[in-house]
Structure 1
Amino acid sequence: MAKYTQTKKSAEIVKPHEQGMIVPVYKGQVGDNRKKGAPKSNKKNITSNVIAKNILLGLNENMDGATNLIYTRTGVGEAKILTDLGYPFNSMEQLLVAMHRPRSAEELTKAIKTTRLINGYKTMQDALASRSIMPMPESSIDISLKTTKQIVDSLPFTLTSDQKHAVWNCMQDISSNVPMNRLISGDVGCGKTLTYGIPLILLHLATKNKTGVSLVLTHNSLLAMQIEKELREIAPQFNVRTKLIVAGDKNVSKIDQNTILVGTTALIHYMKKHGKHLSVDMLVIDEQQKLGSEQRNKLIQRHTNVLQATATAIPRTTAQIMFGAMDISIIEQCPVKKQLTHWLQASSQKKIL
């Protein structure tokens, strides 16, 4: 019979007072907290033990502050959370203690489930609160149907009916005095980039003489480069002005008005430095599930038309769609037939592949 062994790296000795208990292990972080110009001796790491000590200190000395923060973030009091969720704890203090110092595995499981319920509750509250969007005249931009036809007719292929429907939805949103908040949902290869690229270029052409910009935010440099190239190729006859913004690019010049900026989260720093005075007329988030909401919100102004594209929407977005806080355009038809090949491999072939 074969003998299997398992080796654990960086094993730790369990302290006597923690034996027989469920002890939380927090994910530490190796970082450099030095201020600019400070000596290397000031470098600090945030270890799991440091986090554990601070949380224990907070549970003992700042429980009121922790619970009040939860009530502030959720926008409701303890009694309403207890009533609406019906979770198996008598107070928020009990829940926090159970999360970090559980007496049993069963209590910890209940605490984790309850925490997820509260997060879901907060998401639904946000979705309900954002159902009614105030009209913003600045968000309304007239789109030329003649220009739209010129762009669509010049494409080397025909749009699918789903793509046409999604483009039309976006055009109506942009022309409305209520800022667009729409998701384009479609599988990989269904033509989402072209679908949002057409209304993006139409808006760009409609605001040619204004001091505004449109942004496309994505999660990595290669995708940003690909999108920027595709946008230039959609309607070359109109000489659409685009600019690529990625981290580490030292040749990026100051922003020009009426430009489509395509980039990674480096766009946030770039706009903060060069684009404070400019109007963000439209923001497209490609692969929204890989970008945080805080990152997106830093680029959104009150009148900004926001369009997100993804194959796998995050739960918060799904909730917003279900509660009517976000519109959706679904692309199910694929413009080209996919040729998929499946391979079965043995473990011995991994090195070869």
Structure 2
Amino acid sequence: MNAKVTVRGKIRLIQSRRSYKRRLNITEALVGDATGTVKCIWFNQPYLSKQLKIGQEILLAGVLKPSNYGWQLDNPTYEPVSGARLHTARLVPNYHLTGGLTSRLVRRLVYAAMPTVNTMPDWLPRSVLKKYSLLNLSTALKLVHFPTKTEDIKSARYRLAFDELLLLRLTALAAKKDYALKPAPVIPFSARTKQFVSNLPWTLTDDQKKSAWKIINDLAGAKPMNRLLQGDVGAGKTVVAGIAALNVIDAGFKVALLAPTEILAAQHFATLKKLFNNFPITIALFTRSQKNISQSDKVSKKNIVDDLAKGKINFIVGTHALLTDNVAVPNLGLLIIDEQHRFGVEQRNWLIKKSVTTPHLLSLSATPIPRSLALTIYGDLDISLIKELPKGRRPIKTEIVSEAGRAKAYQLIRTEVLADHRVFIICPLIAEGDTLGEKSVQEEKLRLEKNIFPDIAIGVLHGRMTGKEKNQALQNFAQGQTPILVSTTVVEVGIDVPNATVMAIEGAQNFGLAQLHQLRGRVGRSELPSYCLLMADGQDQDNEAATGLWIDFAHHPELVEGRLWYPPLLRRNPP
């Protein structure tokens, strides 16, 4: 049978004994009614033989299975028939546990606290409750913990989610109002902007032009800009940020760019050096392992800190390493934050607090967030969208690969390598046995070298490597010495290899939408046809539906605003 059941009966026999062979204390009970009996076994709970009495009527919940002595329940949940039903014969809440707590104990404590909920005032007016069909707060709190039916859970969660989103929105609006009251440097339009744009080896898209113009107008205002520039990977956000930076620098102020990883910071540094190649602008890179200034060969941390203090550096690019006590950017006019959701509020404010005036703030994001959701999460920011990709870019073909389709996927990878293109293969783990039994970088490299691509050099990249080792691995990959790179998600931001055409993601069901989207953005960065292969294990219809949802979301986020309840998108058991 092996089915989950709840049974009611009287204890006919109960005793504890010591199993010296298995080093366990075993408590056994026989529970029955007029229809029959069931044997119950608990391990290492000897106190039960004293707590539960013969003749006592109890409820039991567990998995019923056959044994040599009839039906049996192993380690069933139990509680007396008399008294409140907390653990059996109802919808039972399960809580995240820590520090030796048990769900049973947490349920008892929550239930004991329930009377205080009745005295809790509801901060929402009745008109709002009626308008949005919301439960009152006390009822929602009771039902979210102890519902009587599944509809209770949905109604309670709806009310609590409404509260959370409303508070988030109100907090964002208050922050926006407070930020607007602070003084900011007025940045006039720089005549060199036209020269900068004309020097570009490509033509700006209409969306880039519109976004840049909005930013320039914001900079010219007396209140600080606080804008989110959202665009797909490779849409050209850095160029737009460069236009803003040029105007700020020409007005006599400094610019700082914060990136969440060293790889991304180094990528920005290299890109900005090319963009400002014909301009007398000093750009510096400051991360934990890399220190560089555009006009110098070798520099130290002290060199950069001193040059910042003296105003010799116009544009500083860095990671969290910039957020230390001894690093300050005087006369900061513009702070650019890439993937700003990776920085906390205090971290974002660190450089701002050190500046005499309030700098303008430009946040960059490549995650395709629907506008209504973006306004909720980033309600304190104005939003600019870059929807167009640069001319010549082709859509990335995204496919889910079943176990039966692996041979075809590997043939595609071989074909691309023979065409002198590059291939990423992403694994969730670094080493075998880390957790969950998912594929790891190290074991997958060995498997591919031995069984699939014995004639192709394969490189590895992961977070346990030093900065020097990472840079060497990326250099070997870009130059074709190792045309296949097996990596963790360390490559999800900041890797720009134009002839990379395949992104194969092992265990794709383990990743969320933002990660999948960022990983896919590592390919399709030129006019070459590119592919994203989702190698999801244990495929079923739910996973395939979730994959389709992600693909729709990536291209048309406005179409799926109401379906954002899949984190991660390819999970094995979606709710």
TM score, norm. by length of structure 1: 0.69
Aligned match for 1:275, one of 313, 317, 327: 327
Q: Secondary structure at the match of 1:24?
A: coil
Q: Note if contact 1:286-1:309 (Cα within 8 Å) is conserved in structure 2.
A: yes
Aligned match for 2:150, one of 105, 109, 112: 105
Question: Which has the larger share of helix?
Answer: 1
**Separation (CA, whole Å) in 2 of partners of 1:199 and 1:276:** 21
Aligned match for 2:261, one of 216, 220, 225: 220
Q: Note if contact 2:129-2:135 (Cα within 8 Å) is conserved in structure 1.
A: no
**Separation (CA, whole Å) in 1 of partners of 2:266 and 2:115:** 48
State the partner residue of 2:53. Answer: none
**Separation (CA, whole Å) in 2 of partners of 1:124 and 1:320:** 7
What is the Cα deviation at residue 79 of structure 1? Answer: 4.2
Map Cα deviations across residues 308-351 of structure 1 (whole Å, 9 max, x no partner).
Answer: 22242375632488x8x543333233322212453754423437
State the partner residue of 2:228. Answer: 183
Aligned match for 1:116, one of 135, 149, 161: 161
* Mean Cα deviation higher: 119-128 or 224-233: 119-128
Residue identity opposite 1:78 in structure 2: D
Residue identity opposite 1:20 in structure 2: A
Q: Does 1:331 align with 2:386?
A: yes
Distance verdict in 2 for CA 1:194–1:56, change over 3 Å: farther
Residue identity opposite 2:280 in structure 1: F
Distance verdict in 2 for CA 1:56–1:275, change over 3 Å: farther
State the partner residue of 1:238. Answer: 280
**Separation (CA, whole Å) in 1 of partners of 2:138 and 2:393:** 54
Q: Secondary structure at the match of 2:390?
A: coil
Cα RMSD of the aligned pairs, angstroms, is 3.8
State the partner residue of 1:136. Answer: 182
What is the Cα deviation at residue 186 of structure 1? Answer: 2.4
Residue identity opposite 1:157 in structure 2: W
**Separation (CA, whole Å) in 1 of partners of 2:100 and 2:393:** 47
Residue identity opposite 1:286 in structure 2: D
Q: Secondary structure at the match of 1:184?
A: strand
Q: Note if contact 1:22-1:103 (Cα within 8 Å) is conserved in structure 2.
A: yes
What is the Cα deviation at residue 165 of structure 1? Answer: 2.5
Q: Does 1:348 align with 2:348?
A: no
TM score, norm. by length of structure 2: 0.45
Q: Secondary structure at the match of 2:325?
A: helix
Aligned match for 1:262, one of 298, 306, 317: 317
Aligned match for 1:305, one of 336, 360, 364: 360
Question: Which has the larger share of strand?
Answer: 2
What is the percent sequence identity of the aligned residues? 24
Distance verdict in 2 for CA 1:297–1:56, change over 3 Å: farther
**Separation (CA, whole Å) in 2 of partners of 1:202 and 1:298:** 23
State the partner residue of 1:89. Answer: 135
Q: Does 1:16 align with 2:78?
A: yes
**Separation (CA, whole Å) in 2 of partners of 1:278 and 1:122:** 35
Distance verdict in 2 for CA 1:271–1:288, change over 3 Å: closer
**Separation (CA, whole Å) in 2 of partners of 1:200 and 1:117:** 39
Q: Note if contact 1:26-1:52 (Cα within 8 Å) is conserved in structure 2.
A: no
**Separation (CA, whole Å) in 1 of partners of 2:225 and 2:189:** 18
Aligned match for 1:80, one of 124, 136, 139: 124
Structure 2's unaligned 5+ residue stretches are: 1-73, 80-86, 292-299, 414-575
Aligned match for 2:207, one of 154, 162, 168: 162
Distance verdict in 2 for CA 1:47–1:100, change over 3 Å: farther
Q: Note if contact 2:185-2:333 (Cα within 8 Å) is conserved in structure 1.
A: no
Residue identity opposite 1:225 in structure 2: A
- Aligned pairs for 1:29-44 within 5 A: none
Aligned match for 1:173, one of 210, 218, 222: 218
Structure 1's unaligned 5+ residue stretches are: 1-11, 29-45, 69-76
Q: Secondary structure at the match of 2:335?
A: strand
> Quick check: which has more Rg, 1 or 2?
2
- Aligned pairs for 1:187-206 within 5 A: 187-206=232-251
**Separation (CA, whole Å) in 2 of partners of 1:294 and 1:96:** 31
Q: Note if contact 1:27-1:47 (Cα within 8 Å) is conserved in structure 2.
A: no
**Separation (CA, whole Å) in 1 of partners of 2:180 and 2:327:** 25
* Mean Cα deviation higher: 334-343 or 56-65: 56-65
Q: Secondary structure at the match of 2:388?
A: coil
What is the Cα deviation at residue 304 of structure 1? Answer: 2.7
